[in-house]
């Protein structure tokens, strides 16, 4: 029986620009997750660890990132670690694998440089499919020889897209590669969500990388009893942060409370990266809007990161009492322009203003009339 | 707002406290120039609008001169029926108090900055940065026309009018709610925009707008670095590919080298055999060459012998010819020699002799002539010398008076004449008039008769004997007459002596002698000059010597003449010359002929020497050749000794050649095999080694480049720009998003603001009507219809006045200064009137009507009275209250002069 930890797509050094001011913190969190992988590996007493590609986001990642990764992997000593170059960190001259920092990796770590068989022991063979470029239409697993009188546990290690989706993909891998080549397990990397397709398995990224990912934040502990045996796969969560994109429809204060509850259910605010785009199309409730604003400020204060975009649909302008006089004239003019009509008198000069600005101006006026500050 | 009273102290000229109280209507502040009228208004503005803690220069200027006193003032004023009092002290221990009149006493409400703020709020002014300016006075700037103000400070006026009219609008129509919202809009607008509608520097939109290019620039730079790294990686990849290809090539090359080496090892035995065969060939070749060499040498020598014999024959013929030439030249030289020596030379000698003789004759004649000339010269000189001697002798021997002698004589003569005259005058004249005729009279000594009548001049004691009668003794003229006479006698004696000296008896003779002297002297001078001329070139002795030499030469020449034909002596000079010339020509001819012959002789002798030399050479050559031939023959004989005969030699050569040929053929056969089995592989081996070395060099170069690129990549990425790019991209995204948000928000606020302004303006523009109406009515009243209206722009800014006669407005600048001021005063009064509907407001005119003529002043007084009675509190400062007599209801407030407060 062999037990190993299968992980991939650590994307160390990723820019995380979409995390705004938290980009740097997001990058740091990935090291924390990697640290938890080390702990898990020891805890589960695995025989070896497979890192199936995209360990680094790019060849140009900071030296500190490489050093820290080396340090983390060195902490796995003496557990052997097999690191596969992926499409983000392919095996190219001058790449991240040539960095001085990587030179300090321990001897327990094997960089799978060549497409060849690597023997873990007499009973386990790894068939490495390292990538030597960022893009290709060729199947990197094509070279794996078929099983012939081989009673060892055969594990393929590759990085690419299983050819089970329509359209052209980068480094397409035959969907039936395990069967075709007689592999007991095909340890894959590239997809960030955990997915099992027969014996071909994606662990997903150990720490989510954006709002649209599903099923990320795991590493897999895999047990295979022997050649041909069905692998037992346990997904273990190691992620530090939760990313969520929400577009709640807000009409009433209850909707706001529901949103609040939904956010809380995602986890502790300090671990949440939230992207919220409220749909205010049906909202006429000023109180609800007020509550929503309050909630926004609470979240902004407590969450790890909040991107609160403009409402998907703006609220209906309320029936606030605009005082007679100049202001009522202004309100009337704004309404006329929003109606795509040209206001009369000296206000005609404003007819061609940006409707978004006009709407915002009217909302502001009503907000002020409602007794609120700008 | 109206003012009740003001108390000022330590304020410019007001050192002691002084209080001025004002009426609700028309107040006339009267005081002399520099009395302190404007100071009062200054105190108004400073106390009401300046911060009590201000230490601006303008505030410091209100301190009394040369003091460090703290200026202070207190103003009591009313606004909306409430009474307020504000007191401020500036500079030294600044303080402020704001009090409200409540329940019949002043209740202190605020102190310090709060007091400043409270006043400002009531008067709706603005917080000044330093000393307050008109634009900080709020409504008051429209109504107060102070000395320090320009008539129409544009911006301030526009703001003040707007403020004033907006205040009016607010009084008429603004609700607190509207006010609040407008205030919020205005605040929101001011956060992001300047009053001119530009994005405010430092506002959020501005900040984000400026930030974006900064971030983009930095990002671009970092992307550039990333691209640089990618380029390096690309190079590295290319180099890696090169390395791989070269490694493959090197491997192939090394394999080839090994194979070739193996071949070479196999070919080693063949090498030795080839060497041996080559040796054999060499030996055969040497042997053949030796025999052939001998044969060739013999043949060469034979050929040389034949050639030498041929040459000998030729040289012999040549030598013979040369000998003939020698003889011939010898004969020619002798012949020429004889010709000039024996034929021409004697004739030449003869001619020369004759020529010499003729020349001697000629020269003799020349010398004789010269001798004669010299002799003549000598004689002339001698003659002159003789003559000169004679003259000199005569001059020295003959006593001749000099000029000086004659001058002395003439002087003495004059003296004598003078003396005589004196004597005559001093002398006694005595005349006898005798009755008896022919009576003799004698004098002793003789007396001079002066007249025929018998008057005698008695010069001294004289006794006259008158015949038969008696004698008369006359004593004389006295001592002086005696002196004169003595002198006269002396002079007379001197004359006699002179005459005697020169042997003359008459004066004329003296003159003649003197003339003779002069003549002699002149002649002597002339003779001396003539002598000098004659001896200028040569002196007498020289001439004599020369004459002697010439004689000697003559003698010498005569000796040469000697054997000449006698008839030659008698020939004329021309004939002699002609004969000389003939002889000379002949001599030249002969000399030329001799020279020619001598030349020819020399040439012949040179040719002879040359021929002799050549003959000698030819003879030597002959000897040499013969020796050479004998040597060659001997060598051949020696060479043939080892072979016997020449035929034997040929035979031996043939054998050696055959042997050599066979050895060569064997060698060639071996070489063909050697080439295939050893030579070619060797060359290939060398080439292959060369290729290997090249490839190794290239590999090294590629390795070095790879190391270099890797190092550069390492260096580049160690700058950690990747995460920085991420951070920048994130920041940029955030900033752009923020910019969108704040821009939209700001634009929304601006849109509200702009719309409010447009609608406000519409309102205020409408409200300008009443102001214009009021001003126009007064303008017509003031100018008696000359101007009937004020033209204002959209900011209610007066730009001109209308004359009913013309269509276009007359610009304010074109009005006289007085009329311009009056228009502005009317405008302020109109504003004041309009804004004083609910409560009276204070209008201040600080001495602005000084240029009004009496008629205008009268009309202005009517207007002022109307305003003061019906609308506003008016305070006018003037140094002359007389023009304001037209304002009947007025309060006159005297302003003390000279700064001494009462």
**Looking at residue A185, what is its pLDDT?**
96
Closest CA to B429 of B448, B456, B406, B407: B456
Beta bridge partners of B504: none
Tens-digit pLDDT profile for residues B840-886: 888 888 877 777 888 889 999 999 999 999 988 999 988 888 889 88
**Looking at residue B901, what is its pLDDT?**
42
* 8 Å CB contact between B510 and B410: no
Kindly list the strands in the beta sheet with A232-237, ordered across the sheet, starting from the edge strand earlier in the chain.
Answer: A109-111, A81-83, A48-51, A2-7, A218-224, A232-237
Tens-digit pLDDT profile for residues A296-314: 889 989 999 988 886 645 6
Is the confidence at residue B737, as pLDDT, over 90?
no
d(CA B535, CA B519): 24
CA atoms within 13 A on the CB side of B107: 8
Using an 8 Å CB-CB cutoff, list chain B residues near A63.
Answer: 717-718, 720
Is the confidence at residue A56, as pLDDT, over 90?
yes
d(CA B97, CA B118): 10
Is the confidence at residue A111, as pLDDT, over 50?
yes
CB contact under 8 A, B747 and A17: no
Q: Is A360 on the interface with B (CB under 8 A)?
A: yes
CB contact under 8 A, A61 and B717: yes
What value of ipTM does the predicted structure carry? 0.86
| Mean pLDDT, rounded, for B314-335 | 92
A295-325 burial, b at 16+ Cβ within 10 Å, e below that, comes to: bbeebeeebbbbbbeebeebbebbeeebbeb
Using an 8 Å CB-CB cutoff, list chain A residues near B178.
Answer: 323-327
d(CA B682, CA B699): 25
Q: Is A330 on the interface with B (CB under 8 A)?
A: yes
Closest CA to B106 of B124, B79, B88, B87: B87
* 8 Å CB contact between B353 and B557: no
CB contact under 8 A, A93 and B236: yes
Interface of B with A in 219-248 (CB under 8 A): 226, 229, 232-233, 236-237, 239-240
Q: Does B742 or B483 have the greater pLDDT score?
A: B742
Closest CA to B758 of A351, A335, A371, A322: A351
**CB-based contacts of B96: which residues, under 8 Å, 6+ apart?**
B52, B86, B87, B88, B89, B110, B111, B112, B113, B115, B116
Is the confidence at residue B160, as pLDDT, over 60?
no
* 8 Å CB contact between A51 and A8: yes
Range name among B402-416, B480-494, B518-532 with the lowest pLDDT average: B480-494
Tens-digit pLDDT profile for residues B799-818: 788 888 877 778 878 888 88
Query: Scanning every residue of chain A, which has its alpha carbon at the shortest distance from the alpha carbon of B240?
Result: A93
Using an 8 Å CB-CB cutoff, list chain A residues near B224.
Answer: none
Tens-digit pLDDT profile for residues B664-685: 999 999 999 889 888 888 999 9
Q: How many CB atoms lie within 10 A of CB B493?
A: 10
Using an 8 Å CB-CB cutoff, list chain B residues near A98.
Answer: 710, 713
Q: Is B709 on the interface with A (CB under 8 A)?
A: yes
Query: Scanning every residue of chain A, which has its alpha carbon at the shortest distance from the alpha carbon of B756?
Result: A326
pLDDT tier for residue A19 given thresholds of 50, 70 and 90: confident
**Looking at residue B418, what is its pLDDT?**
86
**Looking at residue B172, what is its pLDDT?**
40
**Looking at residue B205, what is its pLDDT?**
87
Strands B789-792 and B470-474: unpaired
d(CA B736, CA B477): 161
Query: Scanning every residue of chain B, which has its alpha carbon at the shortest distance from the alpha carbon of A58?
Result: B722
**Looking at residue B635, what is its pLDDT?**
93
Query: Scanning every residue of chain A, which has its alpha carbon at the shortest distance from the alpha carbon of B764?
Result: A326
Please give, rounded to a whole number of angstroms, the shortest distance from the CA of A237 to a CA of chain B.
26
Q: Is A103 on the interface with B (CB under 8 A)?
A: no
Beta bridge partners of A306: A274
d(CA B309, CA B629): 7
Using an 8 Å CB-CB cutoff, list chain B residues near A31.
Answer: none
Q: Is A364 on the interface with B (CB under 8 A)?
A: yes
H helical segments located in B439-572 = 479-502, 507-534, 540-561, 566-569
* DSSP-assigned states of every residue in A168-199: --SSEE-TTHHHHHT-SEEEEES-SS-EEETT
* 8 Å CB contact between B844 and B143: yes
Closest CA to B823 of B795, B858, B856: B856
Residue B622: is it exposed, middle or buried by C-beta count within 10 angstroms (0-12/13-18/19+)? middle
Is the confidence at residue B459, as pLDDT, over 70?
no
pLDDT tier for residue A21 given thresholds of 50, 70 and 90: confident
**Looking at residue B376, what is its pLDDT?**
95
Interface of A with B in 9-28 (CB under 8 A): 13-24, 27
Strands A272-276 and A242-246: parallel
| Mean pLDDT, rounded, for A17-32 | 89
Q: Among B171, B235, B717, which would you mutate to test the A interface (most chain A Cβ atoms within 10 Å of its Cβ)?
A: B717
| Mean pLDDT, rounded, for A112-130 | 95
Range name among B126-135, B311-320, B368-377, B399-408 with the lowest pLDDT average: B126-135
CB contact under 8 A, A327 and B723: no
CB contact under 8 A, B229 and A60: yes
Tens-digit pLDDT profile for residues A154-171: 999 999 999 887 777 889
Using an 8 Å CB-CB cutoff, list chain A residues near B758.
Answer: 346-347, 349
**Looking at residue B450, what is its pLDDT?**
66
**Looking at residue B148, what is its pLDDT?**
61
**Looking at residue B384, what is its pLDDT?**
95
What is the model's pTM?
A: 0.51
Is the confidence at residue A44, as pLDDT, over 90?
yes
DSSP state of B529: H
Is the confidence at residue B227, as pLDDT, over 60?
yes
Interface of A with B in 125-154 (CB under 8 A): none
pLDDT tier for residue B170 given thresholds of 50, 70 and 90: very low
Which residues of A225-304 form beta strands (DSSP E)? 232-237, 242-246, 272-276
Interface size, chain A vs chain B, as Cβ–Cβ contacts under 8 Å = 161
Is the confidence at residue B472, as pLDDT, over 60?
yes
**Looking at residue B615, what is its pLDDT?**
92
For chain A, the average pLDDT equals 90
Using an 8 Å CB-CB cutoff, list chain B residues near A17.
Answer: 726-727, 729-730, 733
Tens-digit pLDDT profile for residues B357-366: 999 999 999 9
Query: In this complex, which of B184, B748, B759 lies closest to A361 when CB atoms are compared?
Result: B748
| Mean pLDDT, rounded, for B203-227 | 91
Range name among A61-75, B405-419, B469-483 with the lowest pLDDT average: B469-483
Query: Scanning every residue of chain A, which has its alpha carbon at the shortest distance from the alpha carbon of B225?
Result: A60
Interhelix angle B573-640/B268-338, rounded to 10 degrees, is: 150
| Mean pLDDT, rounded, for B744-768 | 83
Using an 8 Å CB-CB cutoff, list chain A residues near B718.
Answer: 63
Is the confidence at residue A235, as pLDDT, over 80?
yes
What percent of chain B lies above the pLDDT cut of 70?
Answer: 91
CB contact under 8 A, B754 and A15: no
Q: Does B596 or A313 have the greater pLDDT score?
A: B596
| Mean pLDDT, rounded, for A44-53 | 96
| Mean pLDDT, rounded, for A210-219 | 90
Query: Scanning every residue of chain A, which has its alpha carbon at the shortest distance from the alpha carbon of B237?
Result: A93
| Mean pLDDT, rounded, for B242-268 | 91
**Looking at residue B609, what is its pLDDT?**
94
Q: Among A26, A27, A60, which would you mutate to test the B interface (most chain B Cβ atoms within 10 Å of its Cβ)?
A: A60
* 8 Å CB contact between B723 and A65: yes
* 8 Å CB contact between B737 and A275: no
CB contact under 8 A, B226 and A374: no
Query: In this complex, which of B236, B714, B751 lies closest to A358 when CB atoms are compared?
Result: B751
Query: Scanning every residue of chain A, which has its alpha carbon at the shortest distance from the alpha carbon of B747?
Result: A357
Please give, rounded to a whole number of angstroms, the shortest distance from the CA of A360 to a CA of chain B.
6
* 8 Å CB contact between B172 and A326: no
For chain B, the average pLDDT equals 86
Tens-digit pLDDT profile for residues B527-572: 999 999 999 999 999 999 999 999 999 999 988 887 788 888 888 9
Please give, rounded to a whole number of angstroms, the shortest distance from the CA of A72 to a CA of chain B.
19
Q: Is B738 on the interface with A (CB under 8 A)?
A: no
* DSSP-assigned states of every residue in A284-347: --HHHHHHHHHHHHHHHHHSSEEEEPPPSBPPPP----PPTTHHHHHHHHHHHHHTT----GGG
Query: In this complex, which of B713, B726, B756 lies closest to A15 when CB atoms are compared?
Result: B726
* DSSP-assigned states of every residue in A94-122: TSGGGSTGGGG--TTEEE--SSSEEEEET
Using an 8 Å CB-CB cutoff, list chain A residues near B762.
Answer: 345-346
Which range of A113-127, B431-445, B560-574 scores highest in mean pLDDT? It is: A113-127
| Mean pLDDT, rounded, for A209-222 | 92
d(CA B499, CA A172): 178
| Three-state secondary structure call for residue A150 | coil
Closest CA to A240 of A11, A13, A17, A35: A35
Tell me, rounded to whole angstroms, the distance of Cα B111 from its chain centroid: 73
Query: Scanning every residue of chain A, which has its alpha carbon at the shortest distance from the alpha carbon of B177?
Result: A323
Beta bridge partners of A51: A7, A83
Q: Is B198 on the interface with A (CB under 8 A)?
A: no
Is the confidence at residue B449, as pLDDT, over 80?
no
């Amino acid at each position: 029986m062999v037990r190993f930890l299968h992980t991939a797509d650590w994307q160390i050094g990723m820019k995380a620009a979409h995390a705004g001011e938290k980009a740097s913190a997001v990058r740091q969190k990935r090291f924390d997750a990697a640290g938890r992988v080390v702990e898990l590996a020891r805890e589960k007493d695995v025989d070896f660890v497979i890192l199936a590609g995209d360990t680094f986001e790019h060849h140009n990642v900071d030296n500190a990132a490489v050093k820290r990764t080396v340090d983390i992997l060195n902490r796995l000593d003496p557990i052997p670690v097999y690191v596969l170059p992926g499409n983000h960190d392919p095996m190219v001259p001058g790449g991240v694998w040539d960095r001085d920092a990587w030179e300090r990796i321990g001897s327990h770590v094997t960089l799978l440089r060549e497409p060849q068989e690597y023997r873990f022991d007499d009973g386990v063979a790894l068939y490495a499919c390292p990538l030597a470029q960022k893009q290709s239409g060729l199947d990197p697993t094509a070279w794996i020889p078929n099983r012939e009188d081989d009673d060892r546990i055969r594990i393929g290690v590759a990085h690419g897209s299983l050819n089970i989706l329509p359209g052209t993909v980068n480094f397409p891998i035959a969907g039936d590669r395990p069967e075709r080549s007689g592999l007991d397990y095909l340890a894959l990397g590239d997809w960030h969500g955990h997915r099992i397709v027969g014996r071909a398995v994606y662990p997903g990224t150990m720490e989510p990388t954006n709002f649209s990912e599903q099923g990320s934040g795991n590493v897999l502990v895999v047990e295979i009893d022997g050649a041909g045996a069905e692998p037992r796969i346990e997904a273990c969560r190691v992620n530090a942060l939760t990313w969520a994109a929400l577009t709640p429809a807000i009409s009433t204060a209850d909707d706001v409370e529901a949103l609040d509850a939904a956010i809380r259910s995602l986890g502790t605010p300090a671990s949440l990266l939230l992207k919220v785009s409220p749909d205010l199309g049906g909202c006429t409730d000023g109180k609800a809007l007020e509550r929503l604003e309050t909630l926004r400020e609470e979240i902004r204060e407590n969450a790890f990161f909040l991107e609160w975009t403009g409402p998907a649909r703006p609220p209906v302008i309320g029936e606030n009492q605009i005082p007679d006089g100049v202001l009522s004239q202004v309100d009337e003019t704004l309404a006329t322009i929003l109606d795509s009509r040209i206001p009369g008198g000296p206000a005609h000069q404003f007819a061609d203003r940006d409707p978004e600005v006009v709407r915002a101006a009217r909302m502001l006026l009503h907000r002020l009339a409602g007794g609120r500050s700008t | 707002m109206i003012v009740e009273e003001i108390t000022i102290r330590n304020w410019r000229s007001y050192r002691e406290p002084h209080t001025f109280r004002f009426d609700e209507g028309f107040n006339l502040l009267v005081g002399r120039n520099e009395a302190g009228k404007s100071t009062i208004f200054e105190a108004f503005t400073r106390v009401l609008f300046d911060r009590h803690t201000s230490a601006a220069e303008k505030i410091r200027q209100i301190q009394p001169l040369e003091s460090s006193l703290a200026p202070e003032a207190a103003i009591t004023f009313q606004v909306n029926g409430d009474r307020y009092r504000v007191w401020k002290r500036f500079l030294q221990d600044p303080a402020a108090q704001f009090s409200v009149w409540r329940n019949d006493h002043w209740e202190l409400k605020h102190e310090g900055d709060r007091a400043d703020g409270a006043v400002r709020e009531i008067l709706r002014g603005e917080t000044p940065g330093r000393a307050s300016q008109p634009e900080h006075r709020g409504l008051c700037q429209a109504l107060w026309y102070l000395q320090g103000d320009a008539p129409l400070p544009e911006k301030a006026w526009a703001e003040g009018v707007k403020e004033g009219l907006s205040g009016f609008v607010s009084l008429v129509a603004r609700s607190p709610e509207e006010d609040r919202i407008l205030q919020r809009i205005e605040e929101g607008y001011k956060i992001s925009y300047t009053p001119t509608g530009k994005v405010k520097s430092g506002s959020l939109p501005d900040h984000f707008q400026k930030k974006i290019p900064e971030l983009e620039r930095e990002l671009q730079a970092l992307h550039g670095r990333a691209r640089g790294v990618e380029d390096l990686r690309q190079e590295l990849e290319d180099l890696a590919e090169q390395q791989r290809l070269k490694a493959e090539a090197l491997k192939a090359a090394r394999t080839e080298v090994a194979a070739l080496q193996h071949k070479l090892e196999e070919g080693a035995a063949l090498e030795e055999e080839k060497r041996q065969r080559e040796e054999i060939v060499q030996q055969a070749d040497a042997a053949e060459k030796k025999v052939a060499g001998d044969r060739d040498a013999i043949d060469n020598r034979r050929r040389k012998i034949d050639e030498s014999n041929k040459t000998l024959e030729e040289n012999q013929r040549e030598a013979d010819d040369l000998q003939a030439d020698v003889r011939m030249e010898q004969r020619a030289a002798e012949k020429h020699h004889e010709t000039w020596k024996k034929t021409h030379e004697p004739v030449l000698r003869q001619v020369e002799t004759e020529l010499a003789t003729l020349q001697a004759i000629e020269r003799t004649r020349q010398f004789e002539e010269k001798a004669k000339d010299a002799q003549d010269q000598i004689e002339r000189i001698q003659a002159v010398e003789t003559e000169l001697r004679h003259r000199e002798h005569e001059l020295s021997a003959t006593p001749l008076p000099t000029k000086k002698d004659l001058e002395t004589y003439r002087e003495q003569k004059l003296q004598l004449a003078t003396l005589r005259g004196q004597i005559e005058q001093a002398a006694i004249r005595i005349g006898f008039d005798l009755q008896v005729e022919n009576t003799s009279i004698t004098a002793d000594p003789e007396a001079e008769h002066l007249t025929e009548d018998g008057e005698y001049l008695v010069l001294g004691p004289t006794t006259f004997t008158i015949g038969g009668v008696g004698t008369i003794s006359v004593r004389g003229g006295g001592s002086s007459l005696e002196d004169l006479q003595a002198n006269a006698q002396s002079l007379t004696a001197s004359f006699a002596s002179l005459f005697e000296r020169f042997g003359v008896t008459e004066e004329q003779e003296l003159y003649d002698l003197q003339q003779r002297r002069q003549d002699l002297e002149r002649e002597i001078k002339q003779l001396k000059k003539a002598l000098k001329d004659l001896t200028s070139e040569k002196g007498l002795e020289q001439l004599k010597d020369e004459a002697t030499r010439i004689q000697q030469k003559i003698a010498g020449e005569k000796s040469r003449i000697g054997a000449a034909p006698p008839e030659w002596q008698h020939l004329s000079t021309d004939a002699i010359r002609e004969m000389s010339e003939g002889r000379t020509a002949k001599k030249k001819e002969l000399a030329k002929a001799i020279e020619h012959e001598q030349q020819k002789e020399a040439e012949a002798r040179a040719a002879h020497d040359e021929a002799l030399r050549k003959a000698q050479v030819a003879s030597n050559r002959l000897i040499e050749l013969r020796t050479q031939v004998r040597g060659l023959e001997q060598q051949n004989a020696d060479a043939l000794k080892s072979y016997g005969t020449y035929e034997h030699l040929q035979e031996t050569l043939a054998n050696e050649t055959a042997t050599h040929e066979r050895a060569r053929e064997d060698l060639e056969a071996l070489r063909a095999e050697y080439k295939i089995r050893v030579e070619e592989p060797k060359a290939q081996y060398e080439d292959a080694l060369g290729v290997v070395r090249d490839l190794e060099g290239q590999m090294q170069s590629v390795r070095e480049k790879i190391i270099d690129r890797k190092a550069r990549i390492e260096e580049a990425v160690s700058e950690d720009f990747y995460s920085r790019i991420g951070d920048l991209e994130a920041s940029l995204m955030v900033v752009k998003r923020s910019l969108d948000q704040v821009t939209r928000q700001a634009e929304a606020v601006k849109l509200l603001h702009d719309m409010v302004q447009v609608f406000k303006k519409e309102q205020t523009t409408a409200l300008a009507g009443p102001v214009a109406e009021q001003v126009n009515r007064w303008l017509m009243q003031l100018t008696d219809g000359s101007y009937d209206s004020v033209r204002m722009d959209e900011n209610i800014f007066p730009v001109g006045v209308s004359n009913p006669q013309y269509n276009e407005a007359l610009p304010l600048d074109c009005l006289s200064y007085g009329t311009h001021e009056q228009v502005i005063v009317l405008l302020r009064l109109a504003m004041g009137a309009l804004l004083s509907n609910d409560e009276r407001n204070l209008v201040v005119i600080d001495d602005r009507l000084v240029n009004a003529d009496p008629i205008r002043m009268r009309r202005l007084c009517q207007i002022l009275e109307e305003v003061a009675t019906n609308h506003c509190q008016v305070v006018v400062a003037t140094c002359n209250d007389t023009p304001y007599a037209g304002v009947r209801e007025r309060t006159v407030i005297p302003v003390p002069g000279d700064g001494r407060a009462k």
